[in-house]
Amino acid sequence: MMTSGVSTIRNCRLSRTLVSLLAVSVLVANGCGDDDDGEPRATATPTHAIPATPTLTSTRTSTATPSLTSTTTATATATATLVSIDTPPATASSTPTHTPPNTFTPTGTSVPTPSPSETPTASPTAELGIFGDLGDPLPQASAEQLATFERGRQIASRVFNKEDGLGPDFNVVSCNACHEKPVAGGSAGHYRDFLLVRAVLEDGSSIPVGVNGVQPQFTLGPGGRRPTDPSTNLEATRNPIPFFGVGLLAELPEFEILRHEDPDDADEDGISGRANYDRGFVGRFGRKAQTVSIEGFIRGPLFNHLGLTTDPLTDEMKALLPVPSAPFDDSANLLSPLTEFFVKAAYAQVAAPEEPTVDEDGVPDPELSSQDLFDLVSFAMLLAAPRPDPPTVLSEAGAQRFADLGCAACHIPALEGPRGPVPAYSDLLLHDMGEELADHMEMGLAGGAEFRTQPLWGVAAVAPYLHDGRADTLDDAIRLHGGESAASRDAYADLDQEAQAEVIAFLESLGGANQRSNGLLPPNAPIPQVGVLAGPDRALTAEEVLLFDRGRAVFDRDLPIGGGMGPTFNGDSCRACHFLPVIGGAGPADVDVIRHGRLDNGLFTAPERGTIAPRHSTANARPSIDETANVFETRQTPPLFGLGFLESIPAADILANEDCDNPDPEAVSGCAHILTSGELGRLGWKANVPSLAEFARDAMSNELGITVPDVGDLSFGTLQDADASPDPEITEGDLDALVFFMQRLAPPKRRNQDSEAEAAGEVLFEAVGCSDCHVTDFVSPSGAVPYTDLLLHQVAPDGDVGIVDGGAALLEIRTPPLWGLSLTPPYMHDGRAFTVEEAIARHEGEATRSRLQFEMLTDEDRGNLLAFIESL
């Protein structure tokens, strides 16, 4: 046994060696996945024996080790903060709704809304004690479990940066990024779609590439864009999967799932169904039921999508999880083969991957502590089953039709769990969905056309649907079924519209309808007060309130593919990139825009289709880019607060600060970006947009793939695209409302937390030269100062590369406003500074002198200056 004297060295080597030994290829895509304080596991002898009666209903309340101390710090997220915002509801929250609260309902999907006068009838399942609103904990959770649940929820919303272990490659910076809709633990819109990537070889083998078969969009390395592996020749889109009720699914005995198998269709009903397996256990999670354990289903994505390394939970921690997950005491029962049988019968969660995950990003592994992992897994396991609505005449008629159509052959109403019926409306088995849905991704036993029956509880609130999100609505989802379900699909299509509406009403009654949103704004979200973030900058008239609200709804809504989004896009809504800390805010590193181009001997050539390298496409593949590009650059999403004021500053006032011909490269100059139209550019990292109206058109076209109407003198945006939706794909009225909403977003108020330090810092801000570019000349009607001259400066180091944009040269960047800075990390145009101090340290060129003066300040003065900046 080792001695403590060598433990530090040993631990480092052990982790790496162990992982090499185990080879991490067990971390398969979308789910399976794979420890903490760096200390070796404390024990080799689990302390719990096989319980005499293997009831799964018992709540483990052991107070044995480990101590479950709270370790998390809440980080503001869209989900948490958007709660204070509003959209007019289409229906009362207690009534299931078929029409989303805002516009953009795809054609052909309209269904009648059930009459509010319908009297709900008694729900046969409502008293099961397992239901809650989406995002609620299980009602049966103990007080200790509730505390763990809350800690886990905080971790799910935590934004990770490179110091925390994010990367080196990543798709997202938090768990909630993909599981936010309508609340933490849910799904996400298309802007969180991701790609599974494989190399299919001549011998038929299909090798996961990327990171364990997942294509990361970003890297912390140069350029910020993770390239596609050259060997990739098979891609498949995945839309994030909701977690509601997964603990109940994890508890199901294997034979409860297996008894519904009919792999050879012995009963000749046209429906087969077979289990997938993971490490010898019946799989139950993931689009292809490729993963058996929730721990694995969390550790895998943590590594594959965030680059966060973890150690497997120790046996002691597994013993404390809400769903029994601890292995048996092998030492006490070494000669009994019963262990394996019993584990398979009831404790499948024990099959979580046992390998640590490791990377080489300079942050010690594991990057997420075992305590945090424990809380996160517990959070998932404790998420309540979506509470079904009380049945109505309409939904009951729909339930009957659901059965008559044969839907229930796969979407079986309930499986028998240890707590009683688990009405997930899934058999958790694989079914052949035909070439219509085939993604050609083999996973375990699942073939390229086989998918797990997706649970339907809570389905009302988690659009889009199907594995790749191709279905905008439930109606679409049914019509896009294939294979074994073709007969049911066709039978549905043959129903009259009223009967179809009954089916939809039934599906929407399975939970979540009262939390459904067109974006992330919850139903009835009020408009914040004047002057606060996401609220208007002044009192609005009644008419303006309606316009502001409409504009906010347009800003928030997730656009469906059928609504014209694409063919390529970065976001499916404005909010998709602008949500930190609230709607209209900045974006984290995982929504950075990637720009690219070719640089030859200082001459920049923009790609024919523009410099944006979009992340997503509706074509089930990563969008192509200019293959000759040799320059990539990420662009952080800046907040929109106060842009209406910036737009209103007279051009002459901005031009008055210009000093474009200063020959001293280290002197502060400042150049206005005069656009080809003759207008003064003032918005965007390159000051390349003259107004919010143009900004809206530009973003709609280039970030969302939405064509815009031809309006007056406005010239930005795309009027036509190649998708099937008629152009323009947004109305002039919606655009006007959107622009009004953005124009009226109040600038951030300055905080005064330590007025003495901030006052001293403000003096230093002037003294070291920060205010040479971050000028104090402009003051909004509310008294807010943006601290920008809206001019272009060169603050990048010599030898750096960038993107030319019109008259803005390779390395020129517009002085970004500093108001609200502390609320909107990361910083700099490429989002690669995660703290204000790091951002200052990256100032070069014209800002070199100021940076050096900052660095020469005393610790106290530096602190005061930072306090001032962060108070803005």
Near another protein in 217-246, by CB under 8 A: 229, 231
Cβ proximity to another protein, 328 vs 778, nearer residue:
328
User: Residues 612, 593: contact at Cβ < 8 Å?
Assistant: yes
Backbone angles phi, psi at 608, to 5 degrees: -60, -35
Residue 229 C-beta: closest distance to another protein, Å: 7
Residue 178 C-beta: closest distance to another protein, Å: 22
Contact stretch for another protein (CB under 8 A) within 185-193, 202-210, 363-371, 639-647: 202-210
What number of chain residues touch another protein (CB under 8 A)? 84
Q: Is 358 a residue that touches another protein (CB under 8 A)?
A: yes
Q: Give the β-pairing of 277-278 and 281-282.
A: antiparallel
Eight-class DSSP state of 670: -
Eight-class DSSP state of 286: S
First CA to last CA distance, the chain: 56
Residue 626 C-beta: closest distance to another protein, Å: 24
Residue 410 C-beta: closest distance to another protein, Å: 14
Cβ proximity to another protein, 201 vs 719, nearer residue:
201
Three-state DSSP class for 402?
Answer: helix
Residue 289 C-beta: closest distance to another protein, Å: 11
Residue 284 C-beta: closest distance to another protein, Å: 13
The secondary structure of 182-220 as a DSSP string is: SSTTSB--GGG-EEEEEEE-TTS-EEE-TBTTB--SEES
Q: Is 332 a residue that touches another protein (CB under 8 A)?
A: no
Beta-carbon contacts of 760 under 8 Å, excluding residues fewer than 6 positions away, are 861, 864, 868
Show the tokens assigned to 432: 């052949």
Q: Is 275 a residue that touches another protein (CB under 8 A)?
A: yes
Contact stretch for another protein (CB under 8 A) within 330-338, 493-501, 572-580, 612-620: 330-338
Interhelix angle 143-157/370-382, nearest 10 degrees: 110
User: Residues 290, 446: contact at Cβ < 8 Å?
Assistant: yes
Single out the residue of 83, 146, 207, 486 in contact with another protein (rule: CB under 8 A): 207
Contact stretch for another protein (CB under 8 A) within 437-445, 463-471, 705-713, 855-863: 437-445
A 10 A CB-CB count for 630 gives 13
Q: Is 76 a residue that touches another protein (CB under 8 A)?
A: no
The one-letter code for the residue type at 679 is E
Q: Is 26 a residue that touches another protein (CB under 8 A)?
A: yes
Eight-class DSSP state of 224: S
Residues 78-107 interacting with another protein (rule: CB under 8 A): none
The secondary structure of 483-497 as a DSSP string is: GGGHHHHHHHHHS-H
Residue 411 C-beta: closest distance to another protein, Å: 18
Q: Is 433 a residue that touches another protein (CB under 8 A)?
A: no
Single out the residue of 122, 143, 266, 652 in contact with another protein (rule: CB under 8 A): 266
How far out from the chain centre does Cα 606 lie?
Answer: 30
Residue 264 C-beta: closest distance to another protein, Å: 8
Q: What does the alpha-carbon distance between residue 452 and residue 249 come to, in Å, rounded to a whole number?
A: 13
Contact stretch for another protein (CB under 8 A) within 21-29, 498-506, 583-591, 596-604: 21-29
Q: What is the contact mask toward another protein in residues 542 to 581, using x (rule: CB under 8 A)?
A: ----------------------------------------
Eight-class DSSP state of 311: P
- Residue pointed to by tokens 């995002």: 135
Q: What does the alpha-carbon distance between residue 186 and residue 250 come to, in Å, rounded to a whole number?
A: 17
Residues 481-540 interacting with another protein (rule: CB under 8 A): none
Q: Where are the alpha helices (DSSP H) in 575-650?
A: 643-648
Residues 391-430 interacting with another protein (rule: CB under 8 A): 416, 418
Contact stretch for another protein (CB under 8 A) within 206-214, 452-460, 821-829, 862-870: 206-214
Percent of the chain that is helix, strand, coil (3-state, to 5): 30, 10, 60
Residue 17 C-beta: closest distance to another protein, Å: 5
Q: Is 205 a residue that touches another protein (CB under 8 A)?
A: yes
Three-state DSSP class for 619?
Answer: coil
Single out the residue of 64, 74, 92, 258 in contact with another protein (rule: CB under 8 A): 258
Q: Is 440 a residue that touches another protein (CB under 8 A)?
A: no
User: Residues 588, 580: contact at Cβ < 8 Å?
Assistant: yes
Q: Is 38 a residue that touches another protein (CB under 8 A)?
A: no
Residues 334-353 interacting with another protein (rule: CB under 8 A): 334-343, 345-346, 351
